[in-house]
Amino acid sequence: MSETVPVPDRVRAGSPSKIASRAAYLDAVAHATADPSGYWLHQAWERLQWRTPPTHGLKGDYHSVLERPFTWFDDGELNVTETCLDRHLATRADKTAILWEGDEPGQSRRLSYADLHREVCRAANALAGLGVGKGDRVVIYMGMVPEAAIAMLACARLGAVHSVVFGGFSADSLRDRVADSGAKVLITQDEGRRGGKPVPLKAVVDDALRDQAVDKVLVYRHTGSAVNWTAGRDVWWHEVVPGAGDTRKAEVCNAEDPLFILYTSGSTGKPKGLLHTCAGYLLWVTWTCQVTFDLRDDDVYACVADVGWITGHSYIVYGPLANGATTTMFESIPTYPDPGRYWDLVQRHRITILYTAPTALRALAAYGDGPVKKYDRSSLRVLGTVGEPINPDAWRWYHEVVGEERCTVVDTWWQTETGGHMITPIAPVTATKPGSATLPVPGVLPVVFDGRDHILVGPGEGKLCIAHPWPGQARTVWGDHERYVQTYFTAYKGYYFTGDGVRRDKDGYYWITGRVDDVINVSGHRMGTAEFESALVSADEVAEAAVVGYPHDVKGQGVWAYVVLQPGTVPSHDLPARLNGVCRKVIGAHARVDIFQFVPGLPKTRSGKVMRRILRKVAEGMPESLGDLSTLADPGVVSSIVDGAAQVQR
């Protein structure tokens, strides 16, 4: 696990980035550490389009965040769409801004920067006509169509606050978010398409709004399917947007005005509406998108996430567009109509940067190398991963099979709360290690606390905190600043607590071990679930694995592994012993799985994340407390898991 992979020569060659060498990286780290306020103020002047440039960077700190929240650039004024759109019209009006790949292969659209600017202005005019103004909240509940990005940018144009709700959420979840945000208008579409199946978005909206009022529902027609209609409330996009006017003056916003609210699951079950502000967030995603990926003017960039999550906000919409890039929106799934879909996408569009989730990679690797090698991937230069720690075997498959060892892999660690990348390789600079997020970006100051809450110096394992604010950090929880402080700033006074465990090796490289609640304490041994999962999927028989703790009378906690076997593999009597042998070899003699449950699949959201909350409840013998399953790609898999768990000998 500790081998170091150098940056390929073709990745370093021709980099236009100001951080394109080890020396430049170390220089940036030194400046951003010595004077973070000044460093980011300079970057803000250089990278953003301002109406009134700020004269200072940071105000405040973590110690006083309850009484006086920290701010960045708070005497500056701007509108984020002028950075993302207007400033590009003079130099790249005809360049493709959004490349849309539909659910069916070859179904695509291209919007130039001129097209996108015009459509955003039209949508902003239409929303203004529906009563939306500066500070109003607009919920967006759509699939992966360009109009979702247009809606986000139209809100920003008006100074309104958008809250995108992932198109897989249930009516109840949508209702809660509409109510909490106090949304005035909701934007949706008739249906989405995903993996050859329709997604009834408007029907879910109608259900959600049965006892929750908004002024208007703006509906984009995508599939043409019939939908129910509420007269006086519902408005067709095609009836009010195209003729609304091709220009719209951008509303001037303060740097600290809210840009969007994005809800994440909370430990209490009540979603947290994390609020990101205009300038700090935009600077962070603009800077990290260019620096991490070594984004170049001729790149065709594809982040195959969903705009309903922070990855889609930061690295499909705002980050790429602020850099004048061509950004891809992908409506489908990686296995539709077959497991070659990503690689077909790369070949047809000559994609140079691909950004996806480890879960997707593990699922695709289970089909073997054939579906990958069928397609030309020579255009690829940078391969990115996001959303969870990537195990070394999946990392190597991505690097060796997909990238043919010609590309660098940037395994990015960050969170909804951070806005953008925090610990990650920088494509032309950082030698990588399979499974490691590597090093912090300049200006990010990680601190590791051990089990006794002492700060570790040098190698060690513990809880990951950040010692100093950065511009992209979420400022509060919408309507509940006390919850924000309680969640992130009370465990370690004066530090932001990430909630993640981490190991730092002798080279200073960081290895994310998973959420702290995904650490299992077995007879005094603390082991990350990610360690077990990485070991298990290294076995030839295993395609995917998810590991959780469960109550054990003797050990305190036992280890329960949900294992998806490779196609055609049957669980033999001796397979658990052999898999435990792998765990012992990879982790140590103390690492033993107590219960193996072989399952047909894992409960995943449509963005590819495994919902370990469900697996923990099943392992704890509480299948009646699974909660909302509406965000799962295949809710039926849960029934199989629950039924199988009932047969397991505890």
Contact between 38 and 434 (Cβ < 8 Å):
no
pLDDT attached to residue 502: 96
Same domain, 226 and 141: yes
Residue 611 maps to which CATH number? 3.30.300.30
Q: Is the pLDDT of residue 564 over 90?
A: yes
Q: Is 629 exposed, middle or buried (0-12, 13-18, 19+ CB in 10 A)?
A: middle
Same domain, 435 and 549: no
120-124, 268-272, 312-316, 394-398: the lowest-pLDDT one: 268-272
pLDDT attached to residue 212: 86
- The answer to whether residue 510 sits within a structural domain is no
pLDDT attached to residue 523: 62
1: confidence class by pLDDT, cuts 50, 70, 90:
very low
Quick one: which of 396, 395, 333, 341 has its CA closest to 372? 341
Quick one: which of 208, 329, 230 has its CA closest to 628? 208
- The answer to whether residue 3 sits within a structural domain is no
85: confidence class by pLDDT, cuts 50, 70, 90:
very high
Q: For residues 214-246, b (16+ Cβ closer than 10 Å) or e, as one string?
A: bebbbbbbbbeeebeeeeeebbebeebbeebee
Q: Is the pLDDT of residue 333 over 90?
A: yes
List the structure tokens of 137. 């909240």
Beta carbons within 10 angstroms of residue 140's beta carbon: 25
Q: Is the pLDDT of residue 389 over 50?
A: yes
Number of domains in the chain: 2
Contact between 73 and 253 (Cβ < 8 Å):
no
State pLDDT tens for residues 525-535: 667 788 889 88
Same domain, 453 and 592: no
Residue 7 is given by DSSP the state P
- The answer to whether residue 516 sits within a structural domain is no
Helix or strand run (H / E) with residue 548:
strand 542-552
State pLDDT tens for residues 172-200: 889 989 999 999 999 999 999 999 999 99
Q: What is the mean pLDDT of residues 277-306?
A: 98
Same domain, 461 and 561: no
Q: Is 112 helix (H, G, I), strand (E, B) or coil?
A: strand
For the ranges 2-16, 72-86, 380-394, the maximum mean pLDDT occurs at 72-86
Same domain, 166 and 229: yes
Quick one: which of 634, 624, 629, 573 has its CA closest to 642? 624
Percent pLDDT > 90 in the chain is: 80
Same domain, 377 and 412: yes
Q: What pTM did the predictor assign?
A: 0.86
The answer to whether the bond into 337 is cis (omega within 30° of 0) is yes
> Which ranges of 315-468 would DSSP assign to H, the alpha helix?
319-322, 341-349, 358-365, 370-373, 392-397
Q: What is the mean pLDDT of residues 152-160?
A: 98
- The answer to whether residue 107 sits within a structural domain is yes
Q: Is 644 helix (H, G, I), strand (E, B) or coil?
A: helix
Same domain, 253 and 154: yes
Same domain, 407 and 348: yes
Amino acid sitting at position 252: V
- Within 8 A by CB and 6+ apart from 546, the residues are 529, 533, 561, 562, 602, 610, 612, 615
Same domain, 494 and 547: no
pLDDT attached to residue 267: 45
List the structure tokens of 38. 């000044």
pLDDT attached to residue 522: 75
β partners of residue 100: 109, 329
Same domain, 279 and 200: yes
Same domain, 222 and 191: yes
- The answer to whether residue 509 sits within a structural domain is no
Q: Tell me phi and psi for residue 363, to 5 degrees.
A: -65, -40
State pLDDT tens for residues 255-269: 999 999 999 865 445
Same domain, 495 and 538: no
- The answer to whether residue 518 sits within a structural domain is no
Question: Sign of dihedral through CA atoms 510, 515, 518, 523?
Answer: positive
Residue 17 maps to which CATH number? 3.40.50.12780
Structural domain range at position 413: 9-503
Residue 518 is given by DSSP the state G
Residue 27 or residue 634, greater confidence: 27
Q: Where are the beta strands (DSSP E) in 173-332?
A: 185-189, 192-194, 197-199, 216-220, 234-236, 253-254, 258-264, 272-277, 300-303, 326-330
- The answer to whether residue 512 sits within a structural domain is no
The residue among 469, 503, 537 that closes a domain is 503
Q: What is the mean pLDDT of residues 72-87?
A: 98
2: confidence class by pLDDT, cuts 50, 70, 90:
low
Quote the mean pLDDT of the chain: 93
238-242, 321-325, 386-390, 422-426: the lowest-pLDDT one: 386-390
Q: What is the mean pLDDT of residues 338-359?
A: 96
- The answer to whether residue 517 sits within a structural domain is no
